Amino acid sequence: MRLVSFRHADAQKFGMIVDGGIVDLSTRLSARWPSLRAAIAGQALDELTAAAKGAAADFKLGDVELLPVIPEPGKILCVGLNYSTHVGEMGRQLPTVPSVFSRFANTLVAHGGNIVRPRASIDFDFEGELAVVIGARCRHVSRASALSMVAGYTCFLDGSVRDFQKHSVTAGKNFPATGPLGPWMVTASVIADPQRLELTTRLNGNIVQHDTTDHMIFDVATIIEYLSTVTWLEPGDIIATGTPDGVGAGRKPPLWMKSGDKVEVEISGIGTLGVNVVDE
């Protein structure tokens, strides 16, 4: 099941992707679930499936404005340095525990939208990643049960302002409109093992990153176990799981995103997130 948040006629909605477009679940279920995040919190994914069963698309994808899968998550937690090849290209030592930073909700961008290179820097880097959408409120989750806390998976592009990141990770990762998320969430019932996915990042059609998620240093279950030790995880929270090698900062000369570029993050079993780069 592929679930999406979108805007139509100035109304924020959510629905299910079907052949030909989107089944509008907001209209069918608005009295119970005003948003996808609310439906996830209500453990209502089966109800969404039942509501969309046999329904024809209400909208074509081209007739709506897609939103980030969870437009306003309570938390966006990101794991850095989680592929050994990326650790090597950045000249860092292998971590012994997950290296975590957070993003603000106003950094999110939807599929088809614009990722904004800030006026303060040209050192604007791409990092394609698998993102996890948390499905239940949880704390102190064991690794063995961690995947049962997942609602679904989506694509993420961690736009990094590298010169600012050198003196502050929080600063370098939190310029507005630098974190595309989408295009939709594929439910965990479809992706039984998140460590068997293929990730590809393309810049202007050229492959710049390509790896498989089984090469993560800390797998998704370990990340959830660690983060739930630190804090409560809530339904709709986003966890970005790190990027493989090939980033612009690891190249000689560096390869930075610039205005006019098109960037795509494709993950097998999920789909392709695509955005345009513009200058602030």
Q: Could you tell me if 135 and 100 lie in one domain?
A: yes
Same domain, 47 and 175: no
Question: 19 and 110 share a domain?
Answer: no
Residues 52, 85, single domain; the answer is: no
Per-position DSSP letters for 184-236, written without gaps between them? EEEETTT-S-TTS-EEEEEETTEEEEEEEGGGBSS-HHHHHHHHHHHS-B-TT
**Residue 157 CA neighbour count, 13 Å, CB half:** 39
d(CA 117, CA 180): 13
Nearest to 188 by CA among 220, 142, 156: 220
Same domain, 132 and 252: yes
For 28-89, the DSSP string reads HHTTT-SSHHHHHHTT-HHHHHHHHTTPPPSB-GGGSEE--SSSS-S-EEEEES-BHHHHHH
Question: How far is residue 31's CA from residue 43's CA, in Å, rounded to a whole number?
Answer: 15
Same domain, 24 and 42: yes
Shared domain check, 97 and 17: no
Examine residue 243 and state whether it is found in any structural domain, yes or no: yes
Distance separating alpha carbons of residues 18 and 31, to the nearest angstrom: 23
| Residue where a domain stops, chosen among 66, 88, 107 | 66
Distance CA(254)–CA(33), nearest Å, equals 46
Same domain, 174 and 269: yes
Number of domain units in the chain: 2
Residue 71 lies in a domain: no
Q: Tens place of pLDDT for every residue, the chain, 280 residues?
A: 999 999 999 999 999 999 879 999 999 997 899 999 999 999 999 999 999 999 999 999 999 999 999 999 999 999 999 999 999 999 889 999 999 999 999 999 999 999 999 999 999 999 999 999 999 999 999 999 999 999 999 999 999 999 999 999 999 999 999 999 999 999 999 998 999 999 999 999 999 999 999 999 999 999 999 999 999 999 999 999 999 999 999 999 999 999 999 999 999 999 999 999 999 9
In a domain, 35, yes or no: yes
* CA 128 – CA 158 distance, rounded (Å): 6
Q: Which domain holds residue 160?
A: 76-279
Tell me, what CATH number does 89's domain have?
Answer: 3.90.850.10
Q: Are residues 59 and 87 in the same domain?
A: no
Cβ burial of 234 (10 Å; 0-12, 13-18, 19+) is middle
CA distances from 165 to 22, 92, 107, 184 (A): 39, 14, 15, 29
Identify whether residues 181 and 199 lie together within a single domain.
Answer: yes
Given 13, 38, 66, the domain boundary residue is 66
Of 197, 239, 243, 198, nearest in space to 217 by CA: 243
Whether 90 and 221 map to the same domain: the answer is yes
Instruction: Write down which residue in 11, 43, 66 finishes a domain.
Output: 66
pTM for the complete prediction? 0.97
Q: Answer yes or no: do 23 and 147 share one domain.
A: no
Domain annotation covers residue 15: yes
